[in-house]
Amino acid sequence: QLLHFCLLLAISLAALLGNGLIISAVACGHHLHTPMFFFLLNLALSDLGSICTTVPKAMHNSLWDTRTISYAGCAAQLGFFAFFISAEFYLLTIMCYDRYVSICK
- Looking at residue 92, its pLDDT comes to 94
Q: Rounded to two decimals, what is the model's pTM? A: 0.85
Domain covering 2-104, topology: Rhopdopsin 7-helix transmembrane proteins (1.20.1070)
pLDDT at 86 over 90: yes
Q: Are 91 and 39 in contact (CB under 8 A)?
A: yes
- Looking at residue 1, its pLDDT comes to 81
Four-CA torsion 15, 21, 23, 27, nearest 10 degrees:
180
For the chain, the domains span 2-104
| 65 against 25, higher pLDDT | 25
Gap between the Cα atoms of 22 and 16, Å rounded: 10
pLDDT at 41 over 90: yes
Gap between the Cα atoms of 72 and 14, Å rounded: 29
